[in-house]
A and B are shown apart, each in its own frame.
Chain A
Amino acid sequence: MSGATYVEPVPAGQIRRYTFHERVCHWASAFVYTYCLATGLAFYTPHLFWIAVLLGGAPTSRFWHPILGVMFFLVSLWMHSIWRKDMIIGSAADRGWIENIKYYVTNQDERLPPQGRFNPGQKSYYWAMFYGSVFLLLSGLVMWFPEIVPFHLAWIRRVAILIHEAAALITIGAFIVHVYMAVFLMPQGILGMLVGYAPKAWAREHHRLWYDEVTKGESGNT
């Protein structure tokens, strides 16, 4: 490459949505989270214990769950270093979106104020998963090594399990919405995360402020 930076090509009519770096981070996070989700559900209720059997047996699942759990936290830190600034909630566009969330839910997106790179729904999902990973890590470490907590402080182990479960349920709720929206409600979401670019028309409609920002100086687009 002779030191030159490789620039990913974007097909005509498309716009760069996610860099290679962002996509790798996202899919790394997706993999470790989904594994922890599946094995965690197996330990959560006997009705889903079969998931652990499918994934190579419950002892194997139990072996990898905490290791991939720690990886999920590390990937969350990595993602935080990339998207921390993009995810801050509080701009006028955010407030306008939150006040008119009913139009978002009922697919009347044209009645929403123009949005930046991420709308407050996406940002909220990010924070739910980020803080979720912190709570899951702290409570998970206690569950991984219960013997580090002396028996007269056994309540810490018990509280840790409740925190782990509650935090997991919150991330599961967020994850259901995330997958539903990105795969079914707006397939452009998962496509953009896979290939890294999105149609300009889509970007104008859903992320107008961001679109105007990144196309500033380009001609013949509007």
Chain B
Amino acid sequence: MSNGPLQIKAISGHAGPVPGRNTSRDYDVCKLVDVTTCIGCKACEVACVEWNGYPFRETTFDNTYQTMPDTEWNYYNLIRFNEHVDQDGTLSWLMRKDQCMHCADPGCLLACPADSAIVQYTNGIVDFQQEFCIGCQYCVTGCPFNIPKFNPGTKKVHKCTLCSDRVGVGLEPACIKACPTGCLHFGTKDDMKELADGRARQLREHTSHKNAGVYDPQGVGGTHVLYVLHDATNPELYGGLPRNPKIPLMVRIWKGPLKWLGSFAITAGIVTAIMHFIRYGPKLTKEETTERK
């Protein structure tokens, strides 16, 4: 999505050229999660449930502060709490806001067989359209982040929309609006990347987090959710964030060569049968004509 329509074309009573003419800027939206300033208040969880109009789910207590073990079909956004003891014996309490990463190369979209059930907007948002969803859960298999969740009642799959309904009218996502510490930011991908790099540099230079860095996995073409991590060399510590997420090879084979080879083989089989009939014709009972009555 470009800012083309709102670019100034002419200005009344203005001497000189129109400023900013012919410039363009890509508006890839992006969410930045600075996990180093997250306090685990879960305001984003509540804001998400509230904006999407779901009742608050029953929580699961498993001796942590985490609301439930995993995101759910009506609970798109979950803070994952992980306790980690460093080599020098210091304890870190890691909190990561888990939600759809809005991959530039989405595995869910590649795996989906239903026309229009998953769309990717030019601003980077990957959105599920439940009215076209057939409930096959191929997206669950295609996703390297374990994000799409199935509603057994309606047989539709749901996930974080990056508040496409809010972003479409110029608002920030609900979680961003609720965050009290400023750990969540929203803007263009370029801006968020710059902000994230600056924060990571600050952490490396001014704190003991010498491995601080930005999580923007290139295996899925980059994501429209960025993380600033204290230790970018160990993303797994943050509730199992994959080190190098990719669309699974099996899914690529399934949706690539196997589909083309299979379609070709089926077509070739039918054509061969027709050609065989044209060449050799039906098997007639030869004995019948010579049989003695």
- Name A residues whose Cβ lies closer than 8 Å to a Cβ of B: 42-47, 49, 52, 58-59, 61-63, 105-107, 109-110, 143, 146-147, 151, 154-155, 157-159, 161-162, 165-166, 169, 172-173, 176-177, 180, 184-188, 199, 201-202, 204-206
Contacts and interface: CB of A to CB of B under 8 A. Distances in A.
Interface string B249-282: 0110110001100110110011001001100111
Given A176-B269, A204-B287, 10 more contacts: A62-B134, A147-B140, A157-B141, A158-B254, A165-B254, A165-B258, A169-B266, A176-B273, A199-B285, A201-B288
B92 to A, nearest CB: 23
A186 B282 contact: yes
Contacts of A185: 276-277, 282-283
B266 A176 contact: yes
Nearest to B136: A62
Given A49-B113, A59-B135, A188-B285, A158 B141 contact: yes
Given A176-B269, A177-B273, A180-B277, A162 B254 contact: yes
A106 B276 CA distance: 9
B266 A162 contact: no
B146 A45 contact: no
Contact of B281 (A58, A107, A187): A107
A158 B150 CA distance: 17
Contacts of B150: 146-147
Determine chain B's interface SS by DSSP, over half rule: helix
Contacts of B258: 162, 165-166
Nearest to A204: B287
B273 A184 contact: yes
A6 B221 CA distance: 70
A158 B251 contact: yes
Given A202-B285, A205-B286, A43 B269 contact: no
B115 interface: yes
B198 interface: no
A180 B278 CA distance: 12
A157 B111 CA distance: 12
B41 interface: no
B1 interface: no
A186 to B, nearest CB: 5
Interface of B: 113-115, 133-138, 140-141, 146, 150, 155, 248, 250-251, 253-254, 258-259, 262-263, 265-266, 269-270, 273, 276-277, 280-283, 285-288, 291
Given A151-B146, A176-B270, A58 B114 contact: yes
Contacts of A109: 283
Nearest to A150: B146
Nearest to B154: A59
Given A146-B137, A158-B248, A184-B273, A201 B155 contact: no
B167 to A, nearest CB: 28
B177 to A, nearest CB: 30
Contacts of A45: 259, 263
A86 B283 CA distance: 23
B235 to A, nearest CB: 15
B137 A186 contact: no
B259 A201 contact: no
A155 B285 CA distance: 53
Contacts of B282: 184-187
B156 to A, nearest CB: 9
B258 to A, nearest CB: 6
Most chain B beta-carbon contacts within 10 A, residue among A49, A105, A172, A180: A180
Nearest to B150: A147
Most chain B beta-carbon contacts within 10 A, residue among A155, A158, A199: A158
A211 B224 CA distance: 72
Contacts of B146: 151, 154
Nearest to A189: B283
17 contacts: A43-B113, A43-B134, A43-B136, A62-B155, A143-B141, A146-B137, A146-B141, A147-B150, A155-B248, A161-B254, A176-B270, A180-B277, A185-B282, A187-B282, A201-B285, A202-B285, A205-B286
Contacts of B265: 169, 173
A205 B285 contact: yes
Contacts of B280: 105-107
A162 B250 contact: yes
A176 B262 CA distance: 13
Most chain A beta-carbon contacts within 10 A, residue among B254, B258, B270, B285: B285
Nearest to A159: B250
A59 B134 contact: yes
Contacts of B113: 42-44, 46, 49
A195 B263 CA distance: 35
A58 B134 contact: yes
Most chain B beta-carbon contacts within 10 A, residue among A43, A106, A107: A107
